[in-house]
Amino acid sequence: MVDDAPGSQTDARDRVLDQDLQILVNGLWESGAEAISVNGHRLSTLTAIRGAGEAITVDYRSLTRPYVVEAIGDQRTLPATFAQTDAGAWWNDLSRNRGMSFAMSGADELTLAADPGMVLRYARPAR
């Protein structure tokens, strides 16, 4: 889970931005995550995480804070591998210097919904 820093209403620099979520998600992919969702919205290679005014959107659906990022991967290695990435360093800095919340936890079982926007774009019959 990630969230704005306390007092972020007075200083916009203490708010989670779309770029921050993009960095987090890309770091999780880099660390070996097999599937990721943000606030219940399943991500794919075609998913857009964007800013729309003061809101953050995933595939044009607005998110509310706190941002719950769920990732399926090896819970023994994913957190340590993530910590060694540029994304891990980025979020460590945001947490320490800007006061943003960032917490990782493991679970024995996790089910993520499918991406409702996934459609087959190109296919050929098997030969």
What lies within 8 Å, CB to CB, of 18 at 6+ separation is: 49, 50, 51, 56, 57
pLDDT at 7 over 70: yes
Alpha-carbon gap, residue 78 to 72, rounded angstroms: 9
| Sheet containing strand 49-52, strands side by side | 49-52, 55-58, 61-62
pLDDT, one tens digit per residue, over 99-113 is: 999 988 888 888 888
Domains defined for the chain, CATH in brackets? 2-102 (3.30.70.1880)
User: Count of CB atoms within 10 A of residue 10's CB?
Assistant: 6
Confidence (pTM): 0.87
The CA-based angle 35-39-42, given to 5 degrees, is 35
Q: According to the model, what pLDDT value does residue 11 have?
A: 73
Q: According to the model, what pLDDT value does residue 118 have?
A: 62
